[in-house]
A and B are shown apart, each in its own frame.
Chain A
Amino acid sequence: MDHFIDLTLSGLSSGAVYAALALSLVIIYQATRVVNFAQPALALISVYIAYAVSQATGSYWLGFGAALASGLVLGAATERLLIRPVHGRSPLSAIIVTLGLLLVLQGLAGMIWSNEPHSFAYPLGFRGRFSASDWFALGSVGAAALLLFALYRFTPLGLRMRAAAFHPEAARLSGVRVGLMLTTGWAIASVIGALAGMLAAPPFIFPNVMDAVFIYAIAAAVVGGLENPFGALAGGMLLGLCLSYVSGYAGPELTTLAALAILVLVLSIRPDGLFSRPTARKV
């Protein structure tokens, strides 16, 4: 029973990380219909910047701020420079551009900081059953989700962003700068991605540190339905718990395959994810 509780608690804190990264994928998918396969690499660069800042200043929290700020810039720049030129082309174009960016950024990280792992600090204490860092993970992701909800629901900016995502033509006619709104969406998503990276990286950072997390995040986003931010959060927590049990009872090597199994199982029952309304395909 104790083992079960331990697994549940660790599943919750890792689920928060998957939920955050899944949320960043969903925000981008909602805005631009692109699955950003470069998201783990953008987060990786942010985390390396945090590492560099923390090393230089000795303060974890300055590094944390630097990670979020760099996430903002990286996300906006990616949308402006790489995604917008392929907008309106086949979906494969956008997928391939983000994959190319993934390769470039992972390679650059290896060039600058080497492929060897560096030790990377936890935000708070990490010892004990449900450590301060676990609380921080749950709390910060929850806060990010709430802020995002408030932004979308209650602010004029959020209204414009929703309009730009769902009815770009109508929004443009009513004076919304659609392009700017899409860039903003990418920037916000990448900030959340950077947060996920900061939570996922410890105890070590190396160029492939985000790979597995990204697989779980994409599984979470897809399970929840790529259209739905709440689905991403729920999918992330669900996946965190399931994978924690699989890891604890069946072996940690099987977690990725378990994620795949959950993905296929859910999608064979609901092809558009658990929390999205099924839509008719146009003929």
Chain B
Amino acid sequence: MVSLRNHESTGRGEDAPRTPAPSAADRWRALPALVRFPLAAAAAFVAVVALTFVTGPTADLRLGSVGYYMLAIAGLQLLIGYSGQVSLGHGAFMFIGAYTMALLVLNVPALPLWANMLVTVAVACVAGVLVGAATARLHGPYLAGATLALAVGLPSLTVRFPELLGGSNGLAFSTRGAPAALAGVVTTSQWQAAAVWLTTLVGLVLLATISAGRLGRRMRALRDDESAAALAGIPVGRTKVAAFVISAACGGLAGAGQAYLLGTATPSSFTVTLSLSLLAALVLGGLGSMWGAFLGAVALVYVEVWVEDLAHVLTLGTNVSNNLPIVFFGVLLILVILIRPDGLHGMFRSLADLVRRGRRPAEPAPARSRTPSTARE
């Protein structure tokens, strides 16, 4: 019996028989979710902190960016990949989060960072309930259009209320940085990156627990067939709004992380391009899996860095080099959809299968089954 394992990208549950003896990975997977996710998060946190000790301030900042983007993308993953609602306006929730953070630091300086984060989550949740309830009846292109309008419209509020929101220059503030007890041990940038990652990982653990549980199952049922889900007794509207609120909270927290890291909140960082980049990163990483969010976030931060370096090496003109990342991302997006709809995560997974079994994963293409993996593309 060949062990068939379709690389399903949708997380629809693996019921294919698996014959080999339980490996370490399988035993890991057998742990209950409530143990597994926090353990993985703790390991990731230790890894990130360790990484900041060998890198400089710039790299710390980038590492932190990967963290908050990952949270935003993972929230979007829950919304699009799990519940099937396409939002093109998730930058709007990052905007809300960033400005909440900035306003809190400027107006209530006594509050500690974790309290700021909690308030941000609350504000983003309220915004998510409002938007989610207003758009719960929309589907497909209608929802996409409405959320796109949100992403374009919301940042213009800063111009409307310049005294409060700082107009088009935005709000700049400075945070306290590392607590006195750690003053000699870690630098400010290390502390910042670690704080952002801690927030992200707590958020991810919650997200993973939710999506593995009943609510997550309901969302996937909704995505696969709304009418059937409704017939099965799933409250369609409430589940949709719940998905929207959770992902809005992630977006808000990500925005707060960005503001904390950069010390500013400006309307120009929350353009449509940001919202589209989040979606692009999600698709690039792989729809339907939380690993996709990580890969997408890494791509979002480092592709830009690498393309800038490349432009520098090739001494391209400013017009070209300024626009190279966006063109690169667009091309990547189209290619991924045309060639590998399951994204980087799917690609890595089939590579992993290949290594583990020493053969190609079974696919409905027996004629090519002995060609090496490089022939994929």
Q: Is the CB of A104 within 8 A of B331?
A: yes
Query: Which of B138, B157, B337 has the most A CB atoms < 10 Å from its CB?
Result: B337
Interface of B is mostly: helix
Per the bound structure, the CA–CA distance linking A91 and B142 in Å amounts to 12
- Least CB distance, B324 to chain A, in whole angstroms: 7
**A5 at interface, CB cutoff 8 A:** no
Per the bound structure, the CA–CA distance linking A179 and B159 in Å amounts to 47
Q: Choose among B88, B279, B323, B334 the residue that contacts A82 (Cβ–Cβ < 8 A).
A: B334
Stretch at the interface among B47-55, B144-152, B194-202, B290-298: B144-152
- Count residues of chain B with CB under 8 A from any CB of chain A: 51
Q: Is the CB of A253 within 8 A of B327?
A: no
A100 and B156 in contact, given A211-B272, A282-B227 (Cβ under 8 angstroms): no
Q: Is the CB of A102 within 8 A of B152?
A: no
Chain B residues, Cβ within 8 Å of A257: 149, 153-154, 156-157
**A259 at interface, CB cutoff 8 A:** yes
Q: Is the CB of B157 within 8 A of A99?
A: no
Q: Is the CB of A264 within 8 A of B135?
A: yes
**B228 at interface, CB cutoff 8 A:** yes
Query: Which of A29, A104, A207 has the most B CB atoms < 10 Å from its CB?
Result: A104
Question: Which residues of B268-293 are within 8 A (CB) of A?
Answer: 272-273, 276, 279-280, 283, 287
**A95 at interface, CB cutoff 8 A:** yes
Per the bound structure, the CA–CA distance linking A35 and B145 in Å amounts to 9
Question: Which residues of A230-283 are within 8 A (CB) of B?
Answer: 251, 253-254, 256-257, 259-260, 263-264, 267-268, 271, 281-283
Q: Choose among A96, A102, A113, A115 the residue that contacts B322 (Cβ–Cβ < 8 A).
A: A115
- Count residues of chain A with CB under 8 A from any CB of chain B: 53
**A56 at interface, CB cutoff 8 A:** no
Q: Is the CB of B227 within 8 A of A281?
A: yes
Q: Is the CB of A222 within 8 A of B145?
A: yes
Q: Choose among B152, B159, B273, B334 the residue that contacts A100 (Cβ–Cβ < 8 A).
A: B334
Chain A residues, Cβ within 8 Å of B283: 96
Q: Choose among B148, B160, B231, B341 the residue that contacts A283 (Cβ–Cβ < 8 A).
A: B231
**B319 at interface, CB cutoff 8 A:** yes
**A55 at interface, CB cutoff 8 A:** no
Q: Is the CB of B138 within 8 A of A267?
A: yes
Q: Is the CB of B323 within 8 A of A108?
A: yes
Per the bound structure, the CA–CA distance linking A92 and B141 in Å amounts to 9
Q: Is the CB of A256 within 8 A of B149?
A: yes
Per the bound structure, the CA–CA distance linking A281 and B229 in Å amounts to 13
Q: Choose among B142, B276, B287 the residue that contacts A99 (Cβ–Cβ < 8 A).
A: B276
Q: Is the CB of A107 within 8 A of B323?
A: yes
**B329 at interface, CB cutoff 8 A:** yes
Chain A residues, Cβ within 8 Å of B141: 29, 35, 91, 95, 222, 226
Q: Is the CB of B134 within 8 A of A264?
A: yes
**A46 at interface, CB cutoff 8 A:** no
Per the bound structure, the CA–CA distance linking A281 and B148 in Å amounts to 25
Encoded as 1 (CB less than 8 Å from any A CB) or 0, chain B from 223 to 245 comes to 00011100100000000000000
Chain A residues, Cβ within 8 Å of B231: 283
A97 and B334 in contact, given A215-B149, A267-B137 (Cβ under 8 angstroms): yes
Question: Which residues of B70-103 are within 8 A (CB) of A?
Answer: 80, 86, 88
Query: Which of B138, B145, B329 has the most A CB atoms < 10 Å from its CB?
Result: B145
**Which 5 pairs of residues, A with B, have the shortest CB-CB distance?**
A103-B330, A256-B153, A100-B333, A104-B330, A107-B327
What are 10 A-B pairs at a CB distance below 8 A?
A91-B141, A92-B287, A99-B280, A100-B334, A103-B326, A103-B327, A104-B330, A110-B323, A260-B150, A268-B137
